[in-house]
């Protein structure tokens, strides 16, 4: 982990840069996968399963028997934990759902309203590689159900035995999602965007993934399939003062570093002692991790930065716009009030980022790579769209018409102007 002592402001921008992975040829690879899926459909998906997942499933579709077998294999203690997480996530997302607003009278004869309509067919992508993320099923499936999506499909990579991870299947069935397909990677995104013999075309694709998945989502968007957000490598930024427990700080940094070699962790503090102790703890805890090698690579691209004050820490954090922000300071609430850009914020010494990943309530599908400057994390509203309605009576058009015709003619759109005037023309 690189340590920086009171860097000049002119260097902050470079310190906010995310790790860069060689993407040469990535576009060509993803375009080739998309084209192959469009041309060959299911056969292409089976070929890619064999190539990338090391197995060629007899069927892409998860059967009812496989759901039952998966449920039987999940321990009761894990089922109870998933039920707790489900309850909290549902409660959070339900609490922030806005009801359909009623008709608003703009002026005499003019009334408007907006109607929320669920996306009809939502496509969920759940990573299932080295760490099958069944928690992502909860984070995507619960808001999709609350939003009222009538058709939800889920794609996830098969394991070497040709089956989907048991806990992913159990969690999907728990939420009433029974259309699950054994396909992952860019090919899964292509299948949901364009449809195959087995997998239906969806209206919008949701969920995190590796750089191949992210690039595929970006590319299919050009062909008319909406996506939730650009979701790149995971990241956390911790603001800690001298009151913070260094072992807590270290554990929080490592919880993100173990996600992947391209993950990034940032520690900001106004205390040189805290930084020194936290780095020591990080090195000690690292030796005990099963994913030690992954975390080590991540830490090479990460920074511990000593700044002159907590105010400067907040400024740097807002510039970085982290996916996850942990404020482990004595006066964390006053600092939180100054945060302008972050995906999800964790307040105080016991709000570890792990709670947000699993069971606290807010979503763990969040903007990365600085996108928290402009977009928000996933909610039930992400699975809905708004349709606007306006009703203008004859009296209302008489009042607003002169302004409309004046503006239309100033833009040299004569037909727009005529659409108003013709309604008052004497026969």
50 in catalytic set: no
235 in catalytic set: no
Catalytic residue among 323, 409, 411, 416: 323
Q: What is the pLDDT of residues 240-268, one digit of tens each?
A: 999 999 999 999 999 999 988 889 999 99
Catalytic residue among 324, 391, 394, 395: 324
DSSP labels for 209-228? --HHHHHHHHHHHTTT-EES
Q: Examine the pLDDT at 345 and tell me if it is beyond 90.
A: yes
Which residue shows structure tokens 């728990």? 174
Yes or no: say if 281 and 247 are a contact pair by the CB < 8 Å rule: yes
Q: Where are the domains of the chain?
A: 26-97+114-227, 232-376, 393-424
In CATH, which of 2.10.25.10, 2.30.110.10, 3.40.50.1820, 3.40.50.1980 is domain 232-376? 3.40.50.1980
**Domain 26-97+114-227 has what CATH class?**
alpha beta
Average pLDDT, the chain: 94
393: left (phi over 0), alpha (psi -120 to 50) or beta: beta
- Over residues 308-320, the mean pLDDT reads 98
Q: Where are the alpha helices (DSSP H) in 179-325?
A: 185-194, 211-221, 246-257, 272-286, 292-300, 310-320
Q: What are phi and psi of 199, to 5 degrees?
A: -100, 120
Q: How far is CA 424 from CA 64, 106, 284, 421, 427, in A?
A: 63, 22, 81, 6, 9
Q: What is the pLDDT of residues 147-183, one digit of tens each?
A: 999 999 999 999 999 999 999 999 999 999 999 999 9
Binning pLDDT at 50, 70 and 90, where does residue 96 land?
Answer: confident
Q: In angstroms, rounded to a whole number, what is the distance separating the alpha carbons of residues 221 and 224?
A: 5
The reply to whether 26-97+114-227 and 232-376 are identical in fold is: yes
Q: What is the predicted pLDDT for the residue at 283?
A: 96
């Amino acid at each position: 982990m690189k340590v920086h002592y009171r860097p000049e402001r002119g260097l902050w921008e470079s310190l906010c840069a995310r790790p860069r992975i060689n993407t040469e040829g990535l576009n060509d690879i993803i375009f080739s996968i998309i084209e192959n899926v469009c041309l060959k459909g299911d056969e292409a998906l089976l070929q890619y399963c064999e190539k990338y997942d090391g197995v060629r499933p007899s069927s892409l579709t998860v059967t009812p028997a496989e759901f039952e077998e998966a449920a039987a294999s999940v321990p009761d203690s894990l089922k109870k934990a998933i039920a707790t997480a489900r309850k909290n996530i549902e409660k959070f997302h339900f609490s922030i759902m806005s009801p359909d607003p009623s008709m608003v009278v703009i002026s005499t004869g003019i009334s408007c309203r907006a109607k929320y309509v669920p996306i009809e067919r939502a496509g969920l992508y759940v990573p299932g590689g080295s760490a099958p993320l069944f928690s992502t099923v909860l984070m995507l499936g619960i808001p999709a159900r609350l939003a009222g999506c009538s058709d939800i499909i889920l794609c996830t990579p098969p394991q070497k035995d040709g089956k989907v991870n048991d806990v992913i299947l159990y969690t999907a069935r728990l939420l009433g999602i029974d259309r699950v397909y054994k396909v992952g990677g860019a090919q899964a995104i292509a299948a949901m965007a364009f449809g195959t013999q087995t997998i239906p075309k969806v209206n919008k694709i949701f969920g995190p993934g590796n750089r191949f998945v992210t690039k595929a989502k970006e590319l299919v968007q050009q062909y008319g399939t909406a996506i939730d957000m650009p979701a790149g490598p995971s990241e956390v930024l911790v603001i800690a003062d001298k009151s913070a427990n260094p072992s807590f700080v270290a554990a929080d940094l490592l919880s993100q570093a173990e996600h992947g070699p391209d993950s990034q962790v940032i520690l900001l503090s106004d205390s040189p002692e805290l930084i020194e102790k936290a780095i020591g703890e990080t090195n000690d805890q690292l030796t005990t991790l099963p994913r030690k090698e992954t975390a080590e690579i991540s830490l090479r691209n990460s920074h511990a930065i000593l700044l002159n004050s907590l105010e400067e820490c907040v400024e740097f954090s807002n510039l970085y716009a982290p996916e996850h922000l942990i404020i482990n300071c004595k006066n964390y609430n006053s600092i939180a009030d100054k945060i302008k850009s972050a995906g999800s914020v964790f307040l105080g010494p016991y709000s570890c980022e792990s709670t947000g990943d699993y069971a606290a309530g807010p979503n763990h599908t969040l903007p990365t790579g600085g996108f928290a400057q402009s977009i928000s994390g996933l909610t039930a509203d992400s699975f809905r769209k708004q349709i606007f309605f306006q009703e203008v009576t004859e009296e209302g058009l008489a009042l607003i018409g002169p302004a409309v015709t004046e503006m239309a003619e100033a833009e040299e759109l004569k037909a727009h102007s005529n659409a108003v005037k013709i309604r008052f023309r004497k026969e």
